[in-house]
Structure 1
Amino acid sequence: MPYVTSLGLFDEKDITLRGLEAVRSSTRVYLETYTSILAIQKSRLEEFYGKTIIPADREMVETESDEILRNAQTEDVALLVVGDPFGATTHTDILLRARALGVPTRVIHNASITNAVGACGLQLYNFGQTVSLVFFTETWRPDSFYDRLRENADLGMHTLVLLDIKVKEQSEENLARGRKIYEPPRYMSIPQAVAQLAEVEGVRQGGVLAPDRTLAIALSRVGGGPDNERIVGGTLAQLREQPPDVFGEPLHSLVIVGRRLHHLEAEYAAAFAVDATLWKEVAQNVYGCNFD
């Protein structure tokens, strides 16, 4: 049976006991390596799980899934994913492929950024649609995410923005020439994300991302404990001014705070603010929070 098994958010010890049992019972163990990453090397997973782990890059997961599902009718195979298995359409696709082959599957859930984001103090039931922000290029600067942000903003909801990563990606030239040459990994930083948001706001002029009037919270390595996790709040203008090292190591996410911000949310998140006084002033004067 194929197991799609979540590893959680940070390191080899975040796996659930049920997930660990699935891994140790499997004859082959794959690690999906392109929708997200752990903060540790593959060797640590292998040592802890007692299994050789086969990296499954984008090409394998999307075009060679038959290899992952090989003999899955008669033996256990595990596909390890960071976060929760249903956090990316890639994992849904491989489950559909297994279904088409008549192969039963089992999903083992765990923590993901979509629930762990609550560490910043904002309540999960006040979040709207999650959006992704990709690296802009000279010829490709997609802004459709802005429409989702505006829909959330109209409802007063918070927005979780997932920042782009590039792992084992080819340049346009190498892709066109069919050369298996890959670019170094890249991870979008918070200042770059805020700069791209500001650029789109400048084009759209919808007032959704006004730099001095919009509160936001940056998160990195959520679940990694006090030595790794970073949470930093402020206006978009403040976050853009901070040096990258303030935000910690990747992976990074960004929350755009919605206008239905509750005063208890604002109070809790103020502990992470670059300037707690300014945070509370904006929360009170722009968002209507009453701290009395």
Structure 2
Amino acid sequence: MFYLIGLGLFDEKDITVRGLEIVKNATRVYLESYTSILMVDKERLEAFYGRKVILADRDMVETASDEILSHASTSDVALLVVGDPFGATTHHDILLRARALNIPTDVVHNASIMNAIGACGLQLYSFGQAVSIPFWTDTWKPDSWLGRIQENVGLGLHTLVLLDIKVKEQSEEDLARGRKIFQPPRYMTPAVALSQILSALAHRIHTLVLALSRVGTPTQSIRAGTLAQLATLPEDAFGPPLHSLVIVGSRVHPMEIEFASKWAIDGDWLHVARDVYAVEIESE
């Protein structure tokens, strides 16, 4: 059996009881290590699980999945995924490969940013399409995410914005020369993401935005303000990764505004909600 097991958002103890039982009995245990990260290292997982954990990078998962799936038809193999297994299309792909090989599969779900984002006070059923924003370079500034944000804005829906993660990436020169030299990990900060969004949506500086850091951990942090306000904050104002943003839609409910006002950096949160979003604020 090939198992995809979600690990949740924080540490080694966020795994479900069923997931832990499978891990303890599996022949091999892999940890997918590039679509997201846990707040603890592999050694803590191994100590808690009582099992060796093999790191599976992008190359292994996407181009050498046969190694992971080998003998999975006759023994139990587990691939651990930060958050929920279906938070990235990569994991759908490896399931399809397993099925093509007639390997039985099973999925153990867990919390992910897709549902834990509700911690900011906005209702999950009022979110539209989630988008991912990649790092821009001097020569490459993709903006396909912009159209999805604009679609959500047109429908009055909130937008979850996932920020780029660069793990085990090669420079353009090393890639061109075929050199297996990897750059240090990089995690997009809200400051960088807000700057890119503001450059594309400069006419919407009064849009309400929330910046969330380390959701689901004891050091979770949330900042709320307008797009223009949050874009002026220094990078250290948001703390260490991982980060995400929420762009507030026009159909926002007064209760959502009230709940999120706890993290507002100043009174403009309520003023903009009232004057721009036409939210009926009972008291300020």
Percentage of identical aligned residues? 64
1:238 is matched with which residue: 214, 225, 229? 229
Partners in 1 of 2:118 and 2:201 — Cα distance? Answer: 26
Which stretch shifts more, 93-102 or 235-244? 235-244
Give the aligned partner of residue 273 of structure 1. 264
Partners in 2 of 1:231 and 1:63 — Cα distance? Answer: 37
Residues 89-117 of structure 1 show CA distances to partners (whole Å, capped at 9, x for unaligned) of 00000000001001110000000000000
Partners in 1 of 2:225 and 2:78 — Cα distance? Answer: 41
**Contact 1:229/1:248 (CA < 8 Å) preserved in 2?**
no
Aligned-pair CA distance for 1:201: 2.4
**Contact 2:198/2:228 (CA < 8 Å) preserved in 1?**
no
Alpha-carbon RMSD across the aligned residues, in angstroms, is 0.8
**Contact 1:216/1:234 (CA < 8 Å) preserved in 2?**
yes
Aligned-pair CA distance for 1:224: 0.3
Segments of structure 1 that go 5 or more residues without pairing to the other structure are none
Total equivalences in the alignment: 282
| 2:262 is aligned with 1:264 | no
Give the aligned partner of residue 214 of structure 2. 221
Alignment of 1:133-148 (within 5 A): 133-148=133-148
Alignment of 1:80-159 (within 5 A): 80-159=80-159
Partners in 1 of 2:48 and 2:147 — Cα distance? Answer: 44
Alignment of 1:248-259 (within 5 A): 248-259=239-250
Partners in 2 of 1:149 and 1:262 — Cα distance? Answer: 19
Partners in 1 of 2:232 and 2:39 — Cα distance? Answer: 26
Aligned-pair CA distance for 1:198: 1.4
Partners in 2 of 1:237 and 1:138 — Cα distance? Answer: 23
**Contact 2:158/2:249 (CA < 8 Å) preserved in 1?**
yes
**Contact 2:34/2:57 (CA < 8 Å) preserved in 1?**
yes
What SS does the aligned partner of 2:90 have?
Answer: helix
Partners in 2 of 1:111 and 1:75 — Cα distance? Answer: 27
Residues 153-175 of structure 1 show CA distances to partners (whole Å, capped at 9, x for unaligned) of 01100000000010000001101
Partners in 1 of 2:35 and 2:118 — Cα distance? Answer: 21
Give the aligned partner of residue 174 of structure 2. 174
2:273 is matched with which residue: 278, 283, 286? 283
The alignment's TM-score, normalised by the length of structure 1, stands at 0.95
Give the aligned partner of residue 193 of structure 1. 193
Question: Hey, which bits of structure 1, 4+ residues long, moved more than 4 A?
Answer: none
Partners in 2 of 1:201 and 1:283 — Cα distance? Answer: 18
Partners in 2 of 1:268 and 1:9 — Cα distance? Answer: 22
**Contact 1:34/1:57 (CA < 8 Å) preserved in 2?**
yes
Residues 65-124 of structure 1 show CA distances to partners (whole Å, capped at 9, x for unaligned) of 000001001110100001111110000000000010011100000000000000000000
| 2:39 is aligned with 1:49 | no
Q: Which amino acid aligns with 1:19?
A: G
What SS does the aligned partner of 2:31 have?
Answer: strand
Aligned-pair CA distance for 1:237: 1.1
Q: Which amino acid aligns with 1:175?
A: L
What SS does the aligned partner of 1:91 have?
Answer: helix
